[in-house]
Chains A and B, each alone.
Chain A
């Protein structure tokens, strides 16, 4: 079964770029890697999804190396409202079980 590892917390200042990495082994070879954002008292919200190399949307970029053993969420020019917990999500390999990372608390300061 796949296992995921993320840093517990990160600090940043407004306007900086933030990169959060998730390490994941034994993930399904044909499935996406997805990242979610969660604010207190709310359910997680989809940010971005990718299969390999680089994906970019209006809020973030996702970098996935060729071996797919990790992925990096990149948030450009963070603001105070980006303070949240960020989770990576992968498929647990041979099964359809979904495995969330333990989450990274990003604290953005003025």
Chain B
């Protein structure tokens, strides 16, 4: 089944403890991206990747890192999480960059930083 898989679904951590949220897609998509969703603010893009070893900042990249060493994986790294990074995170992929093909989203990771 074609899908985007995020792990974990739920994560509670403490301020400053490094964490990684994994994202994997099995559709051979070139484009992958991360979003955070907050009440009243909708979905905001954190980082995106047009292909392997190519990443770029989205609208709200501060406090996050990503890497794209393989086509299928695009992990989101929080080196030193803070409470304002408590949010619902979504990974997405698409065949081509930007809006030229539909985005396929994972089911989300709800992160709480205390």
Using a CB–CB cutoff of 8 Å, the interface residues on chain A facing chain B are: 31-34, 36, 41-46, 49, 87, 89-92, 96-103
Contact = CB atoms under 8 A, between A and B. Distances in A.
A98 B99 CA distance: 8
A92 B60 CA distance: 13
Contact of A91 (B90, B98, B103): B98
Contact of A34 (B33, B40, B43, B99): B99
B90 A43 contact: yes
Contacts, number: 68
18 contacts: A36-B103, A41-B107, A42-B108, A43-B4, A43-B90, A43-B92, A46-B104, A49-B99, A89-B99, A89-B103, A96-B48, A96-B50, A96-B98, A98-B98, A99-B45, A100-B42, A102-B40, A103-B43
B44 interface: yes
B41 A45 contact: no
- Bin the interface of chain B by size: 20 to 34
Interface in B41-67: 41-45, 48, 50, 56, 58-59
Indicate the member of B42, B90, B108 with the most A CB atoms within 10 Å.
Answer: B42
Interface string B71-106: 000000000000000000010100001111011111
Contacts of A90: 99
Nearest to A48: B102
A46 B90 CA distance: 14
Contacts of B35: 100
Contacts of A36: 103
